[in-house]
A and B are shown apart, each in its own frame.
Chain A
Amino acid sequence: MARIDVRKTYKLYIGGAFPRSESGYSYEVTDNKGKFVANASLASRKDVRDAVVAARKAFGPWSSRTAYNRGQILYRIAEVMEDRRPQFEEAVRQSEGGSAALARGQVDAAVDRLVWYAGWADKLAQVIGNANPVAGPFFNHTAPEPTGVVGVLAPQESSLLGLVSVVAPVIVTGNTAVVVSSYARPLPAVTFSEVLATSDVPGGVVNILTGDAAALGPWLAAHMDVNAIDLCGVAGSPELATSLEVAAADNLKRVRRAPAAEPDWALDPGLSPMTAFVEQKTVWHPIGI
């Protein structure tokens, strides 16, 4: 008789822990052919609330880490992901369909993207910061700092590469993130959260909620303790995107607008995924004896 396998419960990832949804709801996740795969936790507005609290708590310590240390941790995420490549390949293939080679390509690219962003940790300030030659006896310099807690509506289609491409730039710059995964393809995100939990990423730096961006987005966009929001996950829903942008104006969140359609994640991301969520701080000091 064949061994009965032990199935994994797919849970949320909040503050470094793996709770079920506060609401107790879950939803059926199917593969791309419609076959049942698992029940995922259906995050509620209260899970959003808890995740924001966790992200805020983590922000001070995370943003105070040295850039070198953040880079090391991002690289560590890549290492641990690399180790779990077969698992991610399966999850991506199950979610997105296509060939094994295609899924492998996605996982490879996701790992490589983490490595790319890991390297940016201690370079971005040098590239976008400045010493400013002001007309007076003052030392004056401008350097980027993280914006704070960033809400991320992750892409709906690209379940792993897309997810990594929107989460990594947020955290490498010192922000903390509350991520709403793809609704229909959440399982790679849950596995990713298990990687985060074992990669020296402090609890709360990344919080991952599986659920519906249309339902959770408004709570995240209107939350007064969230400093910025990436609307990528509602690409193709301009009315929803507009309403979220309107809600985000209540505390002047920095908004990374939703594109008309999901971009080609294989392309060079450029700097804008990082610069969208940094503030430029200018410091003055007199020069004298």
Chain B
Amino acid sequence: MPTTAPTDPAPGLTAYSEVTASEASLRRFLHGLPGVDQVGAEARAAGLGTRSIKTTAKAWALDLAIRMVDLTTLEGQDTPGKVRALASKALRPDPADPSCPSVAAVCVYGDLVGEVKAIVGDQVNVAAVATAFPSGRASMAVKLADTRDAVAGGADEIDMVIDRGAFLAGHYLQVFEEIVATREACVRPDGSHAHLKVIFETGELQTYDNVRRASWLAMLAGADFIKTSTGKVQPAATLPVTLVMLEAVRDFREATGVQIGVKPAGGIRTAKDAIKYLVMVNEVAGDDWLDPDWFRFGASTLLNDLLMQRTKMTTGRYSGPDYFTLD
């Protein structure tokens, strides 16, 4: 029986209802997507990485990157104090420079959403990981309860993980239905919904072909964002994985008219790396995606490097870690 999204699907999506009508048709569709040649994809990503971004373009890119950061802490040792400090930093990343923008969101475990919300209010989004993050190994009931709990706690965004075991076992429809159900769990009483980011854990999917299939699967299921990694598995985000996902959202919009966001997460630590990602967004998906609504960095230490480079741009000298807060 066909599964429907909670809200009316976009007109472009209705053409795909046949695709998700059965396990067999979904498999046929996903396996009919063009393959990804690993060497070619990695060469393309490396080539984009050699773009040289200087002066005004660099200053613009650094500010944009800061605005795209989902400032993240996802540790067992997280405490209310720790996440409040992080929330303060998210609001004013560089206390010495009021022109420095806030980040996009703070990303924490669901139980700490309220602590962050108390600090950032409506100025910065709060994202919560859910669905038995990071492994995704729990019953559907638990995953949905996890999600509803975070939404009820005030989360603006939900970062769910897919069941990689089901995906790798070829149970694509099961993964699809879990995303659909989670998307329904994101709906608030007023009918609005928390934005849903779907984490693939690309380091476990292993192949770019799988990443492309997971991307289409999640987009068809109603994801608002597709996200590379939990940050708990190596490799996490890489340029080529993100390239494949950017190609997917580009092609998906072309096919359906629906725009989906992309979030590489984990392993992006330097401003130089962040700029490579922005170049890739610009040249692969296009500048419609050069916006925090459509592209995010899941990161923690990246922010300080962005701030240091930003200071270098304005002062003309290299800065040091002592001049930036360690939150």
Partners in one complex: yes
Binding site for B on A (CB under 8 A): 136-138, 286-289
B40 and A286 within 8 A (CB): yes
User: In chain B, residues 21-68, which have Cβ atoms closer than 8 Å to a Cβ of chain A?
Assistant: 37-40, 42
The 10 nearest A-B residue pairs measured at CB:
A288-B38, A286-B39, A288-B39, A137-B39, A289-B207, A286-B37, A289-B38, A288-B37, A286-B40, A287-B39
When distances are taken between beta carbons in the complex, the residues of chain A under 8 Å from B282 are none
Nearest Cβ in chain A — how far from B43, in angstroms?
A: 9
Closest to B209 in A: A289
What's the nearest-Cβ distance from chain B to residue A60, in Å?
31
- What are 7 sample pairs from A and B whose C-beta atoms fall under 8 A apart? A137-B38, A286-B39, A287-B39, A288-B38, A289-B38, A289-B206, A289-B207
A residues within 8 A CB of B206? Answer: 289
Name the interface size band of chain B: under 10
Using A137-B38, A286-B40 as known contacts, list a sample of 14 further A-B pairs with CB atoms less than 8 Å apart, ordered by residue number in A. Answer: A136-B39, A137-B39, A138-B39, A286-B37, A286-B38, A286-B39, A287-B39, A288-B37, A288-B38, A288-B39, A288-B42, A289-B38, A289-B206, A289-B207
Interface centre among B39, B206, B207 (most CB of A within 10 A): B39
**Would you give the shortest CB distance from B235 to chain A, in whole angstroms?**
13
Q: Which residues of B contact A286 (CB under 8 A)?
A: 37-40
The distance from the CB of B211 to the nearest CB of chain A, in whole angstroms, is 12
Q: Which residues of A contact B39 (CB under 8 A)?
A: 136-138, 286-288
Give complex CA distance A288, B42 in Å: 10
Chain B residues with CB below 8 A from A288, complex form: 37-39, 42
Residues of B within 8 A of A289 (CB): 38, 206-207
Can you list, as one digit per residue, whether each of B126-144 has a CB less than 8 Å from chain A (1) or not (0)? 0000000000000000000
A17 to B49, CA, bound (A): 65
> In the complex the two chains form, what is the Cα distance from A288 to B39 in whole Å?
6
A215 to chain B, nearest CB (A): 55
CB-CB under 8 A from A287, the residues of chain B are 39
- A196 CB to closest chain B CB (Å) equals 47
Separation of A128 and B233 alpha carbons in the complex (Å): 47
**Which chain A positions have C-beta within 8 A of B207?**
289
**A287 to B42 alpha-carbon distance, docked (Å):** 12
Q: Please, which residue of chain A has its CB at the minimum distance from the CB of B41?
A: A288
CA distance A138 to B37 in the complex (A): 12
